[in-house]
Chain A
Amino acid sequence: MKNAIVSVSLRVLAIGLVGLSVGACVGNVSGQLTLPAEQATTASYYVQRHDKDSRDLASTIAQSMQKRGLQATAGVESARPADVAYVVTYVDKWMWDMRMYLYNLRIDVRDAKDMSIVGYGESMQSSLKAMGQTHEDIVDNALDKMFPR
């Protein structure tokens, strides 16, 4: 009887450990851009920094876009240039697991005229998956879906 109980317990433990290890390393990237490629590469973008962003992710996003050859600047909403074609907004969710890590970053691209959406990119990563990744890496992951390098 003892053996049977031990056997069942070990099986459950093994399944649990496999589940945990699979679940702990979760991450995914999604997104798309509906703009024609030529329009996307020649347009001007303004990354709008939100009030609670103490890390200035807006500048990181703009720099990553510039590295892709795009015309991008960053700043607060009130400083947005009137002639910019698209506004880039983002939602960053941070979590604590022995350090703060960027759990989810969602970047939206909207038409500056009416704020209608033209594309989005998102990168979600668990604590383990985020290990060794910088904010820049995660910004790159999210942008890759819209503006491939």
Chain B
Amino acid sequence: MNRSVRATHISALALLSLSLAGCAVGNRYDYGSSIAGLPITGTGKIAVSVVDARPYVLSGDKKPDFVGLQRGGFGNPFDVRTGSGQPLATEMRDAISTALQKQGFSVVAAAEPAPRKLELKVLEWKTDVMMRLKTLYDLELSVFDGSGALLAKSATKGEDVGGGGFESQNASNAAKSFELRLTELVRDPGVQKALGSPAN
């Protein structure tokens, strides 16, 4: 009798856990093609780098491809990773580079000499989803000249809260948040001036 009841209990719990965690495991968000356009145009050469300075990544608690948490039915967290499996910084750099190229710039690797260098420092970027999608962000955008002198800097920090849905909707909203925040940083008058001058 006991064995039969226990088996039923275990099966029921396993089914329940599966149904509650089924949508929460193995989620991936792609940031690599998240930016459709940027409010800057030019034809100059620009080096682009993204520095992942998230404390939990620097300490090794989370891998560089960690982008946030998806919670199961009991609030139990599961890691969300980048769509490509590459570090978040790589996907963000790809997105920024592609957008800048679309705007006319010639993008080179961070180590290559260029009259301007754009550096995005990611102090925080993490989504947390259960019923709502919360995006925590703390970003700094710096523009340097060819000798490494800082020309302009803009920063944004806060959290976006929106509705949570299935993986594809969350991924799309997370990418859109990044596009919106980066656009906000690039729209800064100082950054505009610093980026615009070498190109023209």
Chain A residues within CB distance 8 Å of chain B: 1, 4-5, 8-9, 11-12, 15-16, 19, 26-32, 34, 104, 106, 108, 110-111, 113-120, 122, 124
Contact = CB atoms under 8 A, between A and B. Distances in A.
Given A8-B8, A30-B133, A34-B184, 18 more contacts: A4-B5, A9-B12, A11-B12, A12-B12, A12-B16, A16-B16, A28-B132, A104-B165, A106-B172, A110-B37, A111-B39, A113-B39, A114-B37, A114-B40, A115-B36, A117-B37, A122-B169, A124-B163
Interface residues of B, number: 37
Contacts, number: 85
Contacts of B173: 30, 122
Contacts of B131: 28
B163 A122 contact: yes
B79 to A, nearest CB: 23
A8 B169 CA distance: 36
B4 interface: yes
Interface of B: 1, 4-5, 8-9, 12, 15-16, 19-20, 36-41, 73, 103, 131-133, 160-165, 169, 172-173, 176, 179-180, 183-184, 186-187
Contact of A122 (B40, B160, B162, B179): B162
B75 to A, nearest CB: 15
Contacts of B9: 8
Contacts of A16: 16, 19
Nearest to A27: B163
Contact of A31 (B5, B40, B41, B162): B162
Contact of B19 (A19, A27, A31): A19
